[in-house]
Amino acid sequence: MTTDRPAAKPMKSLDDALAQLLGYASMLDGAEQVGTFDADGRVLAQNLVSQLHVPPQDNSSMDGYALRCADVTDLAQALPVSQRIPAGSAGTNLAPMTVARIFTGAPIPPGADAVMMQEDCDVQPDGAVRVKVQPKPGQWIRRAGEDVTRGAVVLAKGARLTPAELGLAASIGMDFLSVARRPRVALFSTGDELVMPGAVAPQDMPPGAIYNSNRFFLKALLKRLGCEVSDLGIVPDRREATIAALRGAAVNHDVILTSGGVSVGEEDHIKPAVESLGHLDLWQIAIKPGKPFAYGRVAAAHFIGLPGNPVSSFVTFLLLVRPFLLKLQGVARLAPPVVAVRADFTWPRADRRREFLRVKRNAAGGLDLFANQSSGVLTSAVWGDGLVDNPLGSTIAPGDVVRFIPFSELMA
Ligand code: AMP
Ligand code: MG
């Protein structure tokens, strides 16, 4: 007798899964004020509009002499110094047929229209200055507002703040910034085989035990993305324990992130546990590594289940969880830049899933492939400096131009 089984639903493509996932990631409520010193990595919650010009006034970009070009008709003639303007002070009207001693950053005195750098001047024994070359109007002057004009939006809502942004915000006088609230993420690992480094020495590891590596990179990645992490440790492979952990994690967290236990084995309890408390909206994606990936809700919290295999966990985090967490904070730019680079390797077997291969740039400007692309080999992610995004059904031959996503972009 044959049983009629419903045809297996085709797995979601990465693009469809990501679009669906981002659809769930509405911005967290509640912005907060943080000191500009402490805002690195945070996301701006409102446009920053400048109340002033930067620089505030025309100023000298050299140590030298400010002068009126029209006064220089004869290079043999020396002009007396009528005032001295160090940075931080303001000069007065420049008397005709005189120059002003001026220093980098000092405001140009009214009447002057150029600066002569001191290397192009001869100071006479009486202190008067002879210029060696004819000055041109505007030379060595930094114009008011050439960096930022008053009223300009210097940083837009949704910008991720890096050190350069902090400097720019400070340059328009901002000592505090309004930023998105940090996502509160509960993190736990599943697996009875997992042992924490430090709990058992390597020589004493019982048969079947492995160290919990996912917990370390996931926590670090979450922190880099501005999250407040509650590390809930390791949950045993039991249905009740998994349910209890999820139920507890749903309180006071925006996101529950788990690794492992999300496949269909008898020891995989995540799927039924989430379904008993809430619902799963996304399950399994046609990528390699990383097919077991789940999204759902447990009470008010987002639930994201990552695969247990370390490389699968790592790659699905970078491709799916990273943009999700950034979108929760209102980040505008979510897709990492993809670079076209020459492959210096062969990838002879086409796969039915889209693959993300661990590769490294070589000195010849091409990409080398890590020899072992198994989803358990974390060395590939350390050796590599990025991923090749290989479309499903595609082989790669040396010389082919492939899509390369640098880890530096994915981990920022
Ligand atoms: P699972 O998805 O739970 O079936 O796990 C798949 C594979 O990943 C198994 O070989 C697990 O031992 C391994 N694994 C699961 N969780 C972790 C972890 N936190 N650290 C290292 N390896 C893990
Ligand atoms: Mg497991």
pLDDT digits (tens, 9 = 90+) for 147-158: 999 999 999 999
Predicted confidence at residue 6, as pLDDT, reads 62
Mean pLDDT of 201-217: 98
269 pLDDT above the threshold of 70: yes
- The atom of ligand 1 lying closest to the CA of 376 is 8
Predicted confidence at residue 67, as pLDDT, reads 98
pTM of the predicted protein model = 0.93
CA of 361 relative to ligand 2 center, distance in Å: 34
Q: Which ligand has the shortest distance to the CA of 195?
A: 1
2 pLDDT above the threshold of 80: no
pLDDT, tens digit (0-9, with 9 covering 90-100), for 329-374:
999 899 999 999 999 999 999 999 999 999 999 999 999 999 999 9
Helices 270-277 and 239-249, packing angle to 10 deg = 50
Predicted confidence at residue 4, as pLDDT, reads 58
Q: Residue with the nearest Cα to atom 7 of ligand 1?
A: 309
145 pLDDT above the threshold of 90: yes
179 pLDDT above the threshold of 70: yes
pLDDT, tens digit (0-9, with 9 covering 90-100), for 73-106:
999 999 999 999 999 999 999 999 999 999 999 9
Going by pLDDT thresholds of 50, 70 and 90, the confidence category of residue 1 is very low
In the chain, the percentage of residues whose pLDDT exceeds 90 is 96
Q: Residue with the nearest Cα to atom 17 of ligand 1?
A: 308
Verify whether ligand 1 is closer than 6 Å to residue 263 (CB atom).
Answer: yes
Predicted confidence at residue 9, as pLDDT, reads 73
Verify whether ligand 1 is closer than 6 Å to residue 261 (CB atom).
Answer: yes
Predicted confidence at residue 5, as pLDDT, reads 61
Verify whether ligand 1 is closer than 6 Å to residue 193 (CB atom).
Answer: yes
232 pLDDT above the threshold of 50: yes
pLDDT, tens digit (0-9, with 9 covering 90-100), for 10-64:
899 999 999 999 999 999 999 999 999 999 999 999 999 999 999 999 999 999 9
Predicted confidence at residue 265, as pLDDT, reads 87
Verify whether ligand 1 is closer than 6 Å to residue 213 (CB atom).
Answer: yes
Q: Which ligand has the shortest distance to the CA of 259?
A: 1
Q: Residue with the nearest Cα to atom 8 of ligand 1?
A: 309
Q: Which ligand has the shortest distance to the CA of 312?
A: 1
